[in-house]
Structure 1
Amino acid sequence: MFDWIPVDIYTDLQYYALFLIALLILFHSFSSDLHDSENIRFFNIFGVVFMVIFTLYIGQRQVNYRFGDTVNYNKAYQMLLGGGEVVIVKDYLFNYMMVFCSKFMSVRGFFQVVDILYIIPVFLFSRKYFGSYWFFAFFMFVSSFSFWSYGVNGLRNGLGTSIFILGLYFYDRKWLMYACFVAAYYMHASIIIPIAAFVVSGLYRNPKVYLYIWLASIPLSLAGGSAWSGFFANLGFESDRTEGYLTGGSEEYNDQFSQTGFRWDFLVYSASAVFAGYYFIFKKKITDPFYIHLFGIYCIANAFWVLVITAAFSNRFAYLSWFLMPAVIAYPMFRYKIWDNQYRIFAVILFLYFMFTFLMNVIL
């Protein structure tokens, strides 16, 4: 569908499109009232059109090395199309889904199905918790630093996190929520980290403790260095390609993650959501049980990443908390009256949030 777009500009093109939309929201916030019914109607219609085009654009990409593991998934899929046998020993849901799809659709069709499943939970979550203003939350999700990457490269990780978000969509229907968590785990086993964070923060709902856990992880990481990577690898996180993520076991992983060592830039990025949660809960006295639980999941899961931050390719672990950043930052701003000119302040925050994405993925 989009094969006419040169593959070498395919990814950057969507970032420039997102940049224009972020600018549109920013300019609109300084000139219009978001609560006006016509404005709400416009962004709802625009949001649906944007979601459809974005879903097709990411799903109908070409099979090319510029999209990372798209090439490797294609190789496995072509083997299935050719009648090859596979032995499935992990990530059962994703792998059996691939086997099932290979019986009646092409690899491009499979990638489209994966990305529909990747994006729909984000849409549902945004619709439920942000109501008429769902587009702004949805845009914040899809314009996040790693969202595109996990839709074209780390497919299993990305799909696992989206199904986890679907579980949060069913937060008030516990059996469906836990079913989604189980499905997310069998999509990619790394989802055990946010699941564990969900359980811990659910059993002990004290946001001060979540904050202390996150803050403590920084000096512990600085003091322990690579020892934490080895420790978690020995606990069993070495399965599949995870050992390479933690210990830098091959050049492949080091090439994919251009800089190792203590990533202060990514720590500051992560801290923005921690600060947002701190500000809303402790300064603005937000006592929403769901939001406090969400803040706990983020802090605990992100603390795990901080401990292994020096590992090669540790951004794979960072995404196990980063995927919740838009919800942690934006949720209170569309559920509670916090400031005068709240829409304008949100638009500025959204623009700055996206500019980190643009800076890291396009400019640098």
Structure 2
Amino acid sequence: MFDFIPVNDYSYYYYQFYLIVILFIFINSYLHNLNNKKSIGVLNLLGYISLFFTILYMGLRPINGVFIDMTMYAYMFERFQDNDPVIIYDDFGFYYFLEFCSKIMTVEFFFFICVLLYVVPLYFFSKRNFKKYWAYSFIMFCISFSFWAYGTNGIRNGIATSFFILGLAYRKNKYLSFGLMLFACTFHQTLLLPTIAYLLTNFYKSTKVYLLIWLIVIPISIILGNYFVKLIEISGFGSDKVGVYFTDEVNEEFVGSGFRWDFLIYSATAVIIGWFYIFKRNFNDVFYKHIFNTYLICNVFWILIIKVNFSNRFAYLSWFLMAIIFIYPLLKDKIFKFQNARIGLLVFLYFIFTYLMNVILIK
């Protein structure tokens, strides 16, 4: 346990660590070419340091209300230990996992295992896709805007998205890939949206059409957004836990407050970068287009219900793919002259937004 760190400053030091890592990456990228052995050596060292730090620092955090949902899961864990089990209606994969762990380990070790399930799949995805450049991808995941929140608060959702990404890592084995995505849905049923979107975009592949739909739904949501929220509320979409997002009886930092232009602008950065790679730089990679189309569909769904409470949780069903959309082409093809420097700049700018939102603006 990192009990010596004030719990209210716990996330602050996480971002300070990554600020140092990103500065090293930025400097290294400007000193060496992408294939330089020294550059690759430094990158791998930073990658493994980041991997072990993230697992240990996040996995050994104290059980505290600062991490919100963590205390709820600790309470459920104790109920299972006391033979007073929680009634399971949905997300049964996670709750059966929680019940199993309660019989053989401490609650502290349970949360450590949760972090392993959250972080290690991202390492496997990065390693399988990018080989010696894996650290760029892995660190991009770790410095994403919502990464910390979904490892310490939205734990079920975070693990589910990581299993989805693990499914992408094994995409050449269709049965294993789809099985991992379905397993992700048992941890958090909202993963049905990206799973269905991924399957749909396997059959209909026109990125131009998906981009057009994304643009069209923005004015539709501005005009008819309340109607879509009400329609989903009446339809009884999802579980009671999902349904609470459509009520007013909640209190959170991201509670619905009208049309979220800030979230939309953030989402649009991935749309712009994907459009740039595919249409301006002619990056013709089947997998990349597949992921980009999946992102567009999931983001369209969120835009339509952008005014709901906890809007960030619906946005995360597309946001968790943003790191892939930003970095994948740069590690797969020659996009720019002095590409390593461009990668370093991209990673730096990507992190600066996260640092701004999670450190500077909350002070």
For 2:262, the equivalent position in structure 1 comes to 265
1:251 aligned to 2:254? no
Q: Deviations over 1:49-104 (max 9, x none)?
A: 32012111111111111111111111111111222123222111100000000001
For 1:337, the equivalent position in structure 2 comes to 334
Q: 2:347 aligns with which of 326, 344, 350?
A: 350
For 2:187, the equivalent position in structure 1 comes to 187
For 1:290, the equivalent position in structure 2 comes to 287
Is contact 2:255-2:311 (8 Å) kept?
no
Q: Deviations over 1:303-354 (max 9, x none)?
A: 1111111112110000000000010111000100011011111211211111
Q: 2:322 aligns with which of 322, 325, 328?
A: 325
Q: Which range is displaced more, 282-291 or 224-233?
A: 224-233
Q: Deviations over 1:135-159 (max 9, x none)?
A: 0111111110001100011111111
CA distance in structure 1 between the aligned counterparts of 2:154 and 2:332, rounded to whole angstroms: 32
Identical amino acids, percent of aligned pairs: 41
For 1:299, the equivalent position in structure 2 comes to 296
Instruction: For 1:140-155, list aligned pairs within 5 A.
Output: 140-155=140-155
Change (3 A) 1:259 1:347: farther
For 1:363, the equivalent position in structure 2 comes to 360
Is contact 2:91-2:187 (8 Å) kept?
yes
Is contact 1:122-1:166 (8 Å) kept?
yes
CA distance in structure 2 between the aligned counterparts of 1:30 and 1:41, rounded to whole angstroms: 15
Change (3 A) 1:347 1:42: closer
Gaps of 5+ in 1: none
TM-score normalised by the chain length of structure 2? 0.96
TM-score normalised by the chain length of structure 1? 0.96
CA distance in structure 1 between the aligned counterparts of 2:357 and 2:296, rounded to whole angstroms: 23
CA distance in structure 1 between the aligned counterparts of 2:38 and 2:348, rounded to whole angstroms: 23
1:222 aligned to 2:219? no
Is contact 1:238-1:244 (8 Å) kept?
no
CA distance in structure 1 between the aligned counterparts of 2:67 and 2:247, rounded to whole angstroms: 21
Gaps of 5+ in 2: none
Is contact 1:164-1:180 (8 Å) kept?
yes
Change (3 A) 1:259 1:21: farther
Amino acid at match of 2:96: Y
Amino acid at match of 1:231: L
For 2:15, the equivalent position in structure 1 comes to 15
For 2:68, the equivalent position in structure 1 comes to 68
For 2:276, the equivalent position in structure 1 comes to 279
* SS of residue paired to 1:241: helix
For 1:79, the equivalent position in structure 2 comes to 79
Q: CA deviation at 1:262?
A: 1.2
For 1:104, the equivalent position in structure 2 comes to 104
Amino acid at match of 1:340: K
Amino acid at match of 2:247: G
CA distance in structure 2 between the aligned counterparts of 1:341 and 1:248, rounded to whole angstroms: 51
1:36 aligned to 2:36? yes
Q: 1:310 aligns with which of 307, 321, 327?
A: 307
Is contact 1:63-1:70 (8 Å) kept?
yes
Q: Deviations over 1:97-155 (max 9, x none)?
A: 00000001111111111110111111111111111111011111111000110001111
Is contact 1:181-1:195 (8 Å) kept?
yes
CA distance in structure 2 between the aligned counterparts of 1:343 and 1:203, rounded to whole angstroms: 35
Q: Which range is displaced more, 311-320 or 82-91?
A: 82-91
